[in-house]
Amino acid sequence: MRLPQHAHDLSAQLGPLAPERRWIIAGGAVLTLLFLGYFMFGNESSVAAMSVFHIVAFKLARTSDLPDLTARFLQLQASCQLDGRPYIRSLRGGKQTSPEKLDGGMQVVFLAEFANQQELEYYVFRDPVHEAFKKGLEDLGVESVTVLDFTDGVWPQ
């Protein structure tokens, strides 16, 4: 690759750089990148930037109601909104299939992903669409619900 003429002129004016000057320039470049990264990507802790997952498993009295429950739950991703936008990053799930016989009778499991703990807490405690969904569970003969949450990569200390 050929350098532009002004780069050659600058190099000729500066002359060869002493090793200590190279370290100063490299250090300055690293600090500049860190500074830019701080302002470009936010200053929240890395834990705050990790996804938060919400696992919900259901046991119904009538298995014939499972398709209705599934449809209602999956609609939450588009229907639940915060500041005029859907905030559930992803929502997936399926029929419980573990052969270990440790499922407590749960028949269907869902996994919802949220950007942060605040959005999960809004969903759990304040979202009117989610509140209406929870009230409608009685109609479906829900016998049991298990809920677990975790932040990706955060382990017990």
Residue 17: per-residue pLDDT: 54
Q: Which long-range contacts (CB under 8 A, 24 or more apart) does 64-71 make?
A: 65/140, 65/141, 66/95, 66/107, 66/108, 68/140, 69/108, 69/137, 69/140, 69/142, 70/108
pLDDT at 2 over 80: no
Q: Largest Cα–Cα distance in the chain?
A: 84
At 76-130, the pLDDT tens digits run 999 999 999 999 999 999 999 999 999 999 999 999 999 999 999 999 999 999 9
Kindly report which listed range (36-40, 59-63, 106-110, 137-141) carries the lowest average pLDDT score.
36-40
pLDDT at 133 over 70: yes
Dihedral over alpha carbons 127, 58, 115, 82 (to 10 degrees): -20
Q: Quickly list DSSP for 71-101.
A: HHHHHHHHH-EETTEE-EEEEEEEE---TTS
Residue 30: per-residue pLDDT: 38
At 47-76, the pLDDT tens digits run 446 999 999 999 999 999 999 999 999 999
Look at residues 102, 129, 106 and name the one whose alpha carbon lies nearest to residue 58. 106
pLDDT at 8 over 80: no
CATH class of 52-150: alpha beta
pLDDT band per the 50, 70, 90 thresholds, residue 147: very high
Residue 18: per-residue pLDDT: 58
Residue 116: per-residue pLDDT: 97
Q: Give yes or no for a contact between 151 and 51, defined as CB atoms under 8 angstroms apart.
A: yes
